[in-house]
């Protein structure tokens, strides 16, 4: 490896203990085939250690945290490409202050997560897991118990979303054939965008009161932490369902557990939790009106290939001295220190 190589590293959680890749569908061939560019893996550490990044230009980050203490003193690191769209594990403000671009992969997750949401909706309203368990009981469940678990039809029901950004919008597009009414609360979108999707924008209280299936499609920030609280949950219909595939702490988990235990709502589909993983004896797991998955419902070969391709595209853009796709902290593009990094990469790229 030449000292002037553009160095790309992946966080240690991309590899198994035996050194094999965890996700073979993440294709690194475009990076490995680029002249003057080297690819390696970091040792496992969480948060990522700054000393491991001193001579690195690009970091592709899976689940490990990147804090202000992860920033290397050399000032060489140019980009963090997150493997996904969540960025609560990255101190974006500190990265911007140190001329480091932070990229996410909206194109890679848009369809897979939207499909995961609809999977939860269909499983909950169709009582899929309950009927699976009944059938396994033999004759006593197959015939006698099924009358007590009628599913819920979707035509004319209301599908609501907290947020209609990248994933929320795709969810509504895919749900159009179901003949549902669409509602959303999103202070950052326009009526024009909502109208194009056939979505009516409403206030938060109306969203919770009127949704038959309520989905969480917003990022985790200080403002959205416990956005879904006991007061809002108490507004929901006893026949309604809530689905969270975004981030666990957006919902007050204790408040959700309580209302589910009291049958104040019909059920929940949860791919994310506060404090992952939950202990096996968590009260949520004792409820038959909850479907749970391990923050991986959208994980498919196509999902990981798409996310990986998006991260590779971001790294290659920086390598060529261009603005990367999926750039989160756009203000970095005008900072003199970052501009110098891009100029240096561009000059090395054309040699």
Say which of 54, 93, 196, 276 is annotated catalytic: 276
pLDDT in tens, 146-164: 778 899 999 999 999 999 9
**DSSP assignment, residue 141?**
I
Quote the tokens at residue 167.
């994933």
137, pLDDT greater than 90: no
Say which of 110, 295, 345, 349 is annotated catalytic: 295
What is the pTM assigned to this prediction?
0.89
93 has catalytic annotation: no
Q: What would the mean pLDDT of 250-257 be, rounded to a whole number?
A: 98
Which of 52, 53, 10, 21 is closest to 315 using CA atoms? 10
Q: What would the mean pLDDT of 87-116 be, rounded to a whole number?
A: 96
Which of 301, 304, 344, 300 is closest to 321 using CA atoms? 344
pLDDT in tens, 224-249: 999 999 999 999 999 999 999 999 99
247 has catalytic annotation: yes
Q: Phi and psi at residue 243, in whole multiples of 5°?
A: -130, 130
Q: Which of 1-10, 42-51, 271-280, 293-302 has the lowest mean pLDDT?
A: 1-10
Say which of 7, 98, 247, 319 is annotated catalytic: 247
Which of 50, 52, 63, 51 is closest to 14 using CA atoms? 63
26, pLDDT greater than 50: yes
Contact 124, 179 (CB under 8 A): no
**DSSP assignment, residue 21?**
B
pLDDT in tens, 281-319: 999 999 999 999 999 999 999 999 999 999 999 999 999
Quote the tokens at residue 346.
């561009």
Percent of the chain with pLDDT over 90: 89
What pairing do the DSSP bridges indicate for beta strands 37-41 and 241-244?
unpaired
295 has catalytic annotation: yes
pLDDT in tens, 94-106: 999 999 999 999 9
Cis-peptide, bond into residue 277, ω within 30° of zero:
yes
Residues 6+ apart with CB under 8 A from 261: 283, 287
Half-sphere exposure of 2 (CA within 13 A, CB side): 7
2 pLDDT band (50/70/90 cuts)? very low
Contact 102, 328 (CB under 8 A): yes
Contact 217, 168 (CB under 8 A): yes
The whole-chain average pLDDT of the chain stands at: 94
More confident residue, 182 or 45: 182
Quote the tokens at residue 242.
């809530």
pLDDT in tens, 160-219: 999 999 999 999 999 999 999 999 999 999 999 999 999 999 999 999 999 999 999 999
Instruction: Please state, as a whole number, how many other Cβ atoms lie within 10 Å of the Cβ of residue 247.
Output: 22
1 pLDDT band (50/70/90 cuts)? very low
Which of 239, 244, 283, 278 is closest to 261 using CA atoms? 283
Q: What would the mean pLDDT of 117-127 be, rounded to a whole number?
A: 98
């Amino acid at each position: 490896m030449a000292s002037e190589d553009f160095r790309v590293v992946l966080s240690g959680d991309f590899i198994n203990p035996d050194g094999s890749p965890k996700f073979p569908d993440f294709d690194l061939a475009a990076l490995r085939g680029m002249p003057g560019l080297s690819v390696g893996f970091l040792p496992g550490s969480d948060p990522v250690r700054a000393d491991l990044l001193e001579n690195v230009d690009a970091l592709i980050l899976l689940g490990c945290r990147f804090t202000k203490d992860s920033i290397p003193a050399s000032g060489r690191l140019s980009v963090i490409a997150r493997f996904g769209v969540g960025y609560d594990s990255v101190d974006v403000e500190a990265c911007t202050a140190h001329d480091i671009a932070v990229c996410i992969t909206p194109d890679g997750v848009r369809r897979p997560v939207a499909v995961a949401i609809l999977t939860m909706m269909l499983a909950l309203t169709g009582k899929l897991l309950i009927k699976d368990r009944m059938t396994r009981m033999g004759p006593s469940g197959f015939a006698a118990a099924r009358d007590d678990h009628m599913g819920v039809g979707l035509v004319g029901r209301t599908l609501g979303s907290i947020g209609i950004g990248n994933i929320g919008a795709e969810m509504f597009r895919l749900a159009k054939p179901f003949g549902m009414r669409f509602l959303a609360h999103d202070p950052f979108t326009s009526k024009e965008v909502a109208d194009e999707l056939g979505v009516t924008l409403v206030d938060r209280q109306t969203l919770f009161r009127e949704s038959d299936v309520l989905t969480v499609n917003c990022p985790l920030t200080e403002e959205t932490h416990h956005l879904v609280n006991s007061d809002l949950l108490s507004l929901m219909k006893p026949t309604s369902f809530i689905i969270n595939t975004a981030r666990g702490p957006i919902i007050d988990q204790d408040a959700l557990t309580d209302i589910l235990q009291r049958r104040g709502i019909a059920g929940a589909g949860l791919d994310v939790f506060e404090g992952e993983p939950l202990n096996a004896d968590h009260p949520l797991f004792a409820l038959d009106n909850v479907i749970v998955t391990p923050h991986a419902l959208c994980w498919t070969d196509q999902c990981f290939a798409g996310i990986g391709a998006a991260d590779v595209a971001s790294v290659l853009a920086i390598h060529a001295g261009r603005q990367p796709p999926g750039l989160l902290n756009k203000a970095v593009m005008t900072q003199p220190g970052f501009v110098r990094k891009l100029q240096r990469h561009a000059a090395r790229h054309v040699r």
